[in-house]
Chain A
Amino acid sequence: MGSSSPVVVLRDAVVLVSGFPLLSGVNLELAAGSLSVVTGANGAGKTSLLRLLGGLAALSSGAGVVSGIDLRGGDLRELRRRVGWLGHEGSFYDDLSAYENLAFAAKALERPLSEIPTVLERVGLASRASTIARQLSAGQRRRLGLAWLLLRRPELWLLDEPYASLDEEGRTFFDQLIGDVIRGGATVVLSAHDPLRSSSLGPRTLTLAGGLVVEDRS
């Protein structure tokens, strides 16, 4: 499924923002092609961990290598190109339509625009292609974020509370999508308040508290 070397290695990783340690010494290794679920209470550091892995937050102390790139002194711009991010806030331009948002990403990545209808169809937004992002429902915006990731095809998927705002049909669709992505060789790390529903995917569950990994269950 994946290569033998871990795609993520963190040693005593600390992330500070305005003097507050969001992560206070995380030790972690994630294998390529794996699915990991990060759980924990609000403020435990789930989002911060995902942002660190995506090169979106700076490593203040400790060591870390993600996708072969050193988090201290490495090319973080290159790291960001290799990851896909789905945040729990809005992830695209509110004043552009679903199609226009994806077209922006496609042109930036020099992908053919002909892929966009396929991707929109896959996430169930084909009929909403010309709808302005601001007018989409929360669940539809989530699907648009997934469409963005499908277009990008990153090595590492970082999904921050992806189940939020999804109805039952949406959650089932999401589970199937993640299964396909994992089988395709990508590594997925997602955060959730509750552990992943679909045990058939065999997720590893990491529980965070106080900016540390306090429990690791496979």
Chain B
Amino acid sequence: MIRIALLVAAKDLRIERRSRVLLWQVLPFGAMALVLCGLALGPQHAGHSSAGPGLFYLVMLLVALLVINRSQVIEGSPGTKASVATLGLDPAGVFLGKALALMVELWLMGVVLLAGSVLLLHTALVGTLSALPSVLVTLAALSAAGALYGALSGGGQGPATLLPVLSFPAFAPLLIAGERSFSAALHGGALWQWWVISLVALAAYVALGILLYGVLEES
């Protein structure tokens, strides 16, 4: 399982490094979304860091949708899927590999957009840096969930609108946990509950992915 996971993750990341879709399309989208958040708040409120954590995670959710969809689309045509299916890869390994690649990609996006939130939304630098561990854990949980929901939504062959419909209810508690822990890092407050939510969600999605990805593959 681990061997296949690393193989699949390496393949996804190699494809991404070569195609640079995330670098040239998704990252600019995320940056633009942060700018739009500032515009929506207006000049008087845009600099208030109290809105920063929530807006950061809102943008990350939108970015995550694009990254998850991309993760499924790179599996390519039905012909590619058929060829890869004949390799008989362990579905649990495929799930972990997909989730691992997603996690790396979201972490990279997250670090850049965190810098963006310091710059554009004026979240305090020290607080933002201390929020980094919780951001990474929340994005890891998002990745595990995303790998599952991406496959559930038809693996890139289904309608583009299906992924957000399916995944947003599941992403909601992660949004809450992420925003709360980021705010606690900025302004003080209890952090442990939000770490629990993110870690439990991560463990639950990893376990479910290992158990259920094979069923989704068969379908």
- Direct contact, A vs B (beta carbon within 8 Å): yes
Residues of A within 8 A of B (CB): 51, 54, 56, 76-78, 80-81, 83-96, 100, 104-105, 107-109, 132, 145, 148, 152, 154
User: How far is it, in angstroms, between the C-alpha of A5 and the C-alpha of B88 when the chains are bound?
Assistant: 25
Instruction: Kindly count the residue-residue contacts between A and B in the assembled complex, taking CB atoms under 8 Å apart.
Output: 73
Q: 8 closest A-B pairs (Cβ-Cβ)?
A: A89-B79, A81-B88, A87-B79, A91-B83, A95-B15, A108-B87, A89-B77, A91-B79
The reply to whether B87 and A85 form a contact with Cβ atoms under 8 Å apart is: no
Closest chain A CB from B45 CB (angstroms): 43
User: How far is it, in angstroms, between the C-alpha of A29 and the C-alpha of B31 when the chains are bound?
Assistant: 60
The reply to whether A107 and B82 form a contact with Cβ atoms under 8 Å apart is: no
Among candidates A56, A89, A94, residue contacting B85 with C-beta atoms closer than 8 Å: A56
Within 8 A of A (CB), among B1-41: 4, 7, 11, 14-15, 18-19
Known: A90-B77, A96-B18, A108-B7. A85 touches B82 (CB 8 A): yes
Main secondary structure of the interface of A (DSSP, over half): mixed
User: How far is it, in angstroms, between the C-alpha of A140 and the C-alpha of B74 when the chains are bound?
Assistant: 21
The reply to whether A148 and B14 form a contact with Cβ atoms under 8 Å apart is: no
Return 14 A-B CB contacts under 8 Å, by A number. Answer: A54-B86, A80-B87, A80-B88, A83-B86, A87-B83, A89-B79, A89-B80, A90-B79, A91-B79, A92-B80, A92-B83, A96-B11, A96-B14, A105-B87
CB neighbours (8 Å) of B78 from chain A are 87, 89
Residues of B within 8 A of A (CB): 4, 7, 11, 14-15, 18-19, 74, 76-80, 82-83, 85-89, 214, 218
User: How far is it, in angstroms, between the C-alpha of A28 and the C-alpha of B14 when the chains are bound?
Assistant: 43
Closest chain B CB from A92 CB (angstroms): 6
User: How far is it, in angstroms, between the C-alpha of A170 and the C-alpha of B214 when the chains are bound?
Assistant: 38
CB neighbours (8 Å) of B11 from chain A are 93, 96, 104
The reply to whether B79 and A95 form a contact with Cβ atoms under 8 Å apart is: no
User: How far is it, in angstroms, between the C-alpha of A172 and the C-alpha of B214 when the chains are bound?
Assistant: 40
CB neighbours (8 Å) of A107 from chain B are 7
User: How far is it, in angstroms, between the C-alpha of A191 and the C-alpha of B120 when the chains are bound?
Assistant: 59
User: How far is it, in angstroms, between the C-alpha of A77 and the C-alpha of B94 when the chains are bound?
Assistant: 14
